[in-house]
Structure 1
Amino acid sequence: MTAHVMILVENLSVPFDRRVWQEALALAGAGYRVTVICPRGIGRDRDSEVTVDGVRILRYPLRPATGGPAGYLREYPVALAWTLRLALRVRREGPVDVVQCCNPPDLLFFIALVLRVGGARFVFDHHDLVPELVASRFGHSAVLRAGTLILERMTFAAADAVISTNESYRLVAIRRGKLDPSRVAVVRSAPDLSRFQRLAPDPDLRRGKRYLLAYLGVMGPQDGVDYALRALAHLRWGLGREDVHAVFMGAGDAHDDLVALRDRLGLSDIAEFPGRVSDETVRRCLSTADVCLAPDPRNELNDVSTMNKIVEYMAMARPLVSFDLTEARVSAGPAAVYVRPNDEEAFASAVGELLDDPALRERMGRIGRERVENSLSWECSRHTLVDFYAGMLGRSSRWAPLIGRTRR
């Protein structure tokens, strides 16, 4: 009988959530029946039920939180109620063998515990360190820290096995989550190289300037786009460079504030904010960019998190500048120039020096692409994920320690 995997995600809609969608397709391609439950998207992913490439997707209406923590206290109960309702509907239709819960938030384990009554195993797909994420967004509050750590610990305790996005997260699961190392696998978020193929450069994107800088990613308070803008201001007003144009692709709850900051810094004529853009636009822009930007500041979250944009820049053979973060170095190696954490002037200087050295840019880009092809592509992660699930369900010897200990 075909095993049924249910994937629960609250943070983004699917297929827009690239990691979740890649995982769903990988499992469906390996012969599993896959159901995804997620919120509806904004301007996309609007159907309540749809089957795409063999994956069934059920979506519910959800108004994303705005403002401070109170907004999330309104959002999460609604999301949990809808998720439970849809999960029980799916289980009434037939058995669920594995429920995979993707954070944030660290609350979906409640749904997994309900489904466990029917025999489902619980895999925690650990996307974010929620205690550190909350601190990066709302400041250091003892109450919030304690509450998020309790929920994280409960999630780890309930999980039969954990999928971590990198080795730093795996260590958190082992040390802070008290999990046996044999129950924690690393499945990196990684680009599908079939999507990241270079196009011919488009000189029009430079808007008459000699060089193009590019940023691709989320624009939240913790993502450092404000650092990139202040670095760009120093590049222009401090270092006197008028030969640079910059494109910041992406969206998030800090987007409007960042546009206002751009205008205050006198950068409105050289810094574009087109919002979320198509894959075609991403490929065209990254194929044209001379240097890509990874301005995530060092904090407890960013230092140990893998930034998708870094590996995506590398997949497009683009050199990048990054603050010196532990996992940034693990991903990029010599494909990046690293500067003192949170030092915007050093960031600007590194960008300028890289722009003036085309041979170094070409060499770094080639190294980055090779690193992705050899070990950081989704194809590598896909094999790990499929083998991990085979072990969960007793079909592989590699994850044999999981067999027999995943039902309690």
Structure 2
Amino acid sequence: MNVEAFDGKRVFLVLGTSTGGVGAHVASLAEGLAAADARVTVCGPAATEELFGFTAKGARFVPVEISAGLDPVTDARATRRLRKALRGPGGSTAVDLVHAHGMRAGLIARAARPVGVPLVVTWHNVLMATGTKGRVLGAAETLVARGADMSLCVSDDLVARVLRLGGQDVRFAPIPAPPLPPATRTAAEVRAELQAGDRPLVLAIGRLHPQKGHDVLIDAAAALADRDPKPLFLIAGEGPQREELTERVNRTGAPVRLLGHRADIADLLAAADIVASTSEWEGYPLFAQEALRSGTPLVATRVGGVPAVTGDAALLVPAGDAAAVTAAVGKLLDDPAERERLAKTGLAKGATLPTVEDGLAQVRAVYRELTGA
């Protein structure tokens, strides 16, 4: 990777709980910054190091248990832990810049950072909570937006939101998907493992969380269960909704398998006939970039930054509309020519998307601007 040297600048990357895109982005960023001679420390839950291997990317790792939800006791403990990590011997400052990923990490970093140290916050998700919880989280969002020296937002709607919250310097910063490793098995071998026979495969990738709208996909799958051959819907990901979604699959009789966390996404994409996403919101989704670059026809909800990623290279449907998902998937199953068209336009669109090097260059420029390096 051709990068300008950072001459030992001390950069702390802070993240909360993650099993997907945020952690993968931080790992990619840590690797690129370390290659540019930055002294990179990643602070986050111990489970993120196990999953993403930040130390193997050239970073130091300090466990800081930042919870997924607001918890005064846990937050106070995390703040103290991060503050200690950011201090050197005798209380001296051991950091040149703090870059937090997500609102929860931003809240802890805002409280812990030494005076005068620049704080960058990347906003990966929109706040979807309502009621009392929504008001509390909204107040926390405002603190983070106004406390950050710079906010990087993964979609245009997030840029507008952070500006409304009072963000000082707010910029669009797409997060490129790292290239997937080559598939290690043929489509036939993957189908054999899944015992799929000649059934069409519809693949969804994402954690089992309400934001991902997997309940809508399950309902669409149930509506398509009478087709011959019956399509098989695969959901690759893990999360807190597993029990609830399993119950929904059993109750509806939907032809859906919950695969859990998978490390063979390239293999699954190569075997899939269609990729589907029914998220309530997405920023600059990795799954969409991966689907386009693999040439797999994509059905996705028209939310957040999805249209900016896909352009006209996907069938976009309204969020929360199982009937629209059913119609879109059914259309592609019935129309090989349309699948071929989307495969070709997807490959062309994928070739124009920002690369990991592009994303790293933007972040490096931000760091230099804030540190004067």
TM range (shorter): 0.7 to 0.9
Q: Does 1:272 align with 2:257?
A: yes
Deviation at 1:94, TM superposition (A): 6.0
Give the ranges of 4+ consecutive aligned residues of structure 1 lying more than 4 Å apart after TM superposition: 13-16, 71-75, 89-94, 196-199
Secondary structure (helix, strand or coil) at the match of 2:249 reads: helix
Task: Work out which of the residue numbers 25, 35, 39 in structure 2 matches 1:19.
Answer: 25
Cα separation, 2, equivalents of 1:74 and 1:325:
35
Task: Work out which of the residue numbers 125, 133, 136 in structure 1 matches 2:122.
Answer: 125
Secondary structure (helix, strand or coil) at the match of 1:257 reads: helix
Secondary structure (helix, strand or coil) at the match of 1:342 reads: coil
Find the counterpart in structure 1 of residue 35 from structure 2: 29
Find the counterpart in structure 2 of residue 190 from structure 1: 176
Change (3 A) 1:276 1:151: same
1:7-406 paired onto structure 2 within 5 Å: 7-12=13-18, 17-41=23-47, 44-45=50-51, 51-60=55-64, 72=71, 75-88=74-87, 95-105=94-104, 108-117=106-115, 119-129=116-126, 132-133=127-128, 135=129, 140-141=130-131, 143-179=132-168, 183-193=169-179, 195=181, 200-202=186-188, 203-204=191-192, 205=194, 207-237=196-226, 240-267=227-254, 270-278=255-263, 281-297=264-280, 302=281, 305-395=283-373
Cα separation, 2, equivalents of 1:290 and 1:28:
38
TM-score by length of 1: 0.80
Moved more, 310-319 or 36-45: 36-45
Does the 8 Å contact 2:216/2:320 carry over to 1?
yes
Cα separation, 2, equivalents of 1:149 and 1:373:
37
Q: Which runs of 5+ in 1 are unaligned?
A: 396-408
Does the 8 Å contact 1:37/1:87 carry over to 2?
no
TM-score by length of 2: 0.87
Cα separation, 1, equivalents of 2:22 and 2:361:
22
Deviation at 1:220, TM superposition (A): 0.6
Deviation at 1:250, TM superposition (A): 0.1
Find the counterpart in structure 2 of residue 402 from structure 1: none
Deviation at 1:100, TM superposition (A): 1.0
Change (3 A) 1:198 1:191: farther
Does the 8 Å contact 2:298/2:314 carry over to 1?
yes
Deviations, residues 286-311 of structure 1 (Å, cap 9, x unaligned): 111000111113xxxx1x63333222
Q: Which runs of 5+ in 2 are unaligned?
A: 1-6
Cα separation, 2, equivalents of 1:393 and 1:197:
41
Does the 8 Å contact 1:125/1:164 carry over to 2?
yes
Paired residue type of 1:285: L
Question: How many corresponding residue pairs?
Answer: 364
Does the 8 Å contact 2:43/2:62 carry over to 1?
yes
Paired residue type of 2:338: L
Paired residue type of 2:293: A
Does the 8 Å contact 2:100/2:120 carry over to 1?
yes
C-alpha RMSD over aligned residues: 2.9
Does the 8 Å contact 2:297/2:346 carry over to 1?
yes
Identity of matched residues, %: 21
Cα separation, 2, equivalents of 1:274 and 1:91:
50
Change (3 A) 1:353 1:15: closer
Deviations, residues 101-146 of structure 1 (Å, cap 9, x unaligned): 12231x64454454332x42111121222xx23x2xxxx20x3333
Deviations, residues 204-251 of structure 1 (Å, cap 9, x unaligned): 2461133111011111112110100000000114xx344311211001
